[in-house]
Structure formats: C-alpha cells, structure tokens
Amino acid sequence: MNSSRTKLTSIFLSQSSWKNAKRTSIQGDASRRQYERLTCSMKGTSILMDAPPEHGEDVKPFVKVCKYFQKIGLSVPKIYDSDISNGFLILEDFGENLFSKMLINKPNNELEFYINATDNLIRLYHSTPLKGLDVYNCSDMVNKSLLALDWYLEYGLTASPNVTLKTEFYKLLNASLINIMSTPHIMVHRDFHAENLIWLNHRKGYQRVGILDFQDTMLGHPAYDLASLLNDIRREVNPEIKRKCLEHYLLNTKLNVEDFEHGFSVCSAQRNLRILGVFTRLSVRDNKKGYLTFIPGIWRKLIEDLKHPALGDLNSLIRDFFPEPNNDVIQRIKNSHVS
C-alpha cells in the first residue's frame, strides 16, 4: 500500500465508528482489493475492505448487490461504514469458517453444506433479478475464455497462438454457448465456490451459508453457479454429493434435465478455460506462482466437461492444440515473466 493510500485509510477509519479498533491484515483474493480485520473491545470484529479505484476497483456494484441479496433473504455481510468514492467499506465479519477449510476437518458435513449452498441458488433462480445488471452474454464469455490461448497456450508452449486457431476456437465456443442461451437468464454470482462460502452455524436453513465476493453478479445461465460450486477447481466435491445437489436443484426449479446437463457442461467448460488463462496470467504477470498448483485439476475438469456430445468439435481442437499440463509445461510457465 502506498503512502497516499495509507493516509486515506487512516482518515476513513478515524471518521468511522471503528476508529479505535486494532487492525490485522488478512489474506485477500486474486483482485487488487486488500482486507483487514478490525477488532474493538466494545464492538467485536469487522472487516475493512480496501478497493483502490486507481487500480480499477469499484465498490458500488458490491453495495448494490449486497442490498439486494439481503432483501431476498441471502446471508451477505452487513455494511457498517463506507466511503464509496475512495473505495472503503467496513463489513460484518462472518469469521473464518470457509467451506474449503471446514470440510478438511469435517468431511462428513459436505452434503449438508452443499445442499444448503444449492438452496441459495434455488432461491436466486426463483427471485426477480436486480434491475440494471449486465448480461453475461456469449461474446463476453468467449472473450474471457480466449485468455486460455493468450496465456496458458502461449506460455505453456512458448509460442503465440495463430489467428486461424483463435478464430476457430472463438467460432466453436461461441456456437456452443449460443446453443444453450435460449434458457431464461437469472442472477449469477459467477464465483460461487468453497472459498467464497462461509458456514454460519448460528443461523438456520439456507441462511447458514454466508456469501462473499458477489460484486461481479450478472445475468446468465442457471447452470453457471451450480457448475462453479460442484466443479470447484479448488477442491474435489464427492461425486455422490454432486449428483444429489444436481437432482435437488432440478427438482426445485423444474428445469429440463437434458437441457440443464448440456448447459452445465458448456458453462463449466467455458469457466475452466477462462480460469486456465487467468491463473496462468497471475503466475506470469503478477508473480503469483501458487496458482499454478491448481492448473492440473482445472485441466482434468475441463477434459471431463468436453466429454459432452455437444462439445465434440471443441474437444478435438483443445486436444489437438493445447498442451496437457505436465511437469515440463508447468515449469515453463513458472519460469516465464512479463510486466
């Protein structure tokens, strides 16, 4: 944090109701946002979000979606204090019981956690979408997936993908997405997975699932968030639990099973291609080498997605031109750096 940002933070806190709190840095995410836990003997704890506008961060979408999710009964952090223009929020502290951490020590709780998370998605499905949200359309989704070519393919092979390959990739993925987009759009979180879900044991029902990192919510395919949850690249979901959650979602939304499974595979493939590129970029450009440990798992899930019959041509292209992330490929990416 630079000196001017440090000064702005101090001014914001001095004018807030948490001015006397002890500050402790906590681990952030892949964005430019930073977080601190504020501890006050009289008030307990809260979370300071520092989202610098000069780095392209904007807290307005977070605030807007937060208020709407609260309105429809989802568990999201309350906002205690804010400085919107400078990118500061003080939020309710949901604690540290992330799904990903809790399930390491309590694997028998996986079904309970995931069914309740699925119940949140069912509630989103049946809710009237927030007005003014952009649509996560085919063009946006394909362009984000092109990161797999621009970063993973380029630095995994140390060769730039040619125009013909990019054009064919765009055509095949775009056609696959168009084929599923007749399904009416709903609100999609777009990062609904075990690192953004916290178990709130003192609450009841689906509200025991605390939801984080929802500022990128858009309108999209109903399968998108469920694919994010069940095909999580950070942890393996038990196949039987995955099946039960899919059945639970379909039972409560009355969606056509075959159409939904088609959409699920396409959304998951698109998402995994995007993440393949994003995590390679985080390593090469931002020197965050730890993200490379996820790439073999992302690849395995992508190959599984591509087994759907509707994705046969895209499967062939990726098998022919994308390198499997073996040790040599991962090391090649690890050794690469651009500013």
**Residue 145: exposed, middle, or buried by beta-carbon count in 10 A (0-12, 13-18, 19+)?**
buried
Q: What is the pLDDT of residues 87-132, one digit of tens each?
A: 999 999 999 999 999 999 999 999 999 999 999 999 999 999 999 9
Indicate the pLDDT class of residue 234, thresholds 50, 70 and 90.
very high
Of 207, 165, 214, whose CA–CA distance to 187 is shortest? 214
Query: Residue-wise over 82-118: b if at least 16 C-beta within 10 A, else e?
Result: bbeebbbbbbbbbeebbbbebbeeeeeebeebbbbbb
Q: How many CA atoms lie within 13 A of 124 on its CB side?
A: 34
pLDDT of residue 2: 73
* Other beta carbons within 10 Å of 331: 11
Mean pLDDT of 5-34: 89
- DSSP annotation of 75 reads B
**Domains identified in the chain and CATH numbers:** 18-92 (3.30.200.20), 99-334 (3.90.1200.10)
Chain-centroid distance of CA 332 in Å reads 26
Residue 30 has pLDDT above 70, yes or no: no
pLDDT: which is higher, 268 or 160: 268
The answer on pLDDT for 62 being more than 70 is yes
User: What pLDDT shows up at residue 159?
Assistant: 76
Task: Assign 234 to helix, strand or coil.
Answer: coil
Can you tell me the distance from the alpha carbon of 48 to that of 39, in angstroms, rounded to the nearest whole number? 11
Task: Give the confidence band of 32 by pLDDT, cuts at 50, 70, 90.
Answer: confident
